[in-house]
Amino acid sequence: MSFQKLSPSEVERERLEQVNELIADSGTEWADEYRPGSAGCHELLDRTALLSDMLERHLLSHPACVANPGWYILAEQAAAALRELYQQVGTEHLNGEAPSE
């Protein structure tokens, strides 16, 4: 079984759908409490660290994953993506910078 990756335009369409849902639920200023330097952004940083740690502890070290090279590389790619997300969020959050668009 293989899953097709979404194109960047499909990913952006899904993100914008979530933006519209957040606007409908919380108003147009919803993003203010999640900007870099905020408690909301810190929450994302914490959750990213938590998931990265869980993935590395429970998937990468799982004997079934270690035994299968294909599974292991997928798990490693997921862990690498979370580590990169953590670094990017952390850099902007700790500097209190608005994300570049």
Going residue by residue through the chain, which has 101 residues, state the pLDDT in tens, using 9 for 90 and above: 567 788 999 999 999 999 999 999 999 999 999 999 999 999 999 999 999 999 999 999 999 999 999 999 999 999 999 999 999 999 999 997 655 54
CB of 99 closer than 8 Å to CB of 36: yes
Residue 100's pLDDT is what? 52
Provide the whole-model pTM. 0.84
Residue 4's pLDDT is what? 79
Residue 96's pLDDT is what? 75
Cα–Cα distances in angstroms (integers) from residue 38 to residues 3, 30, 45, in the given order = 35, 13, 11
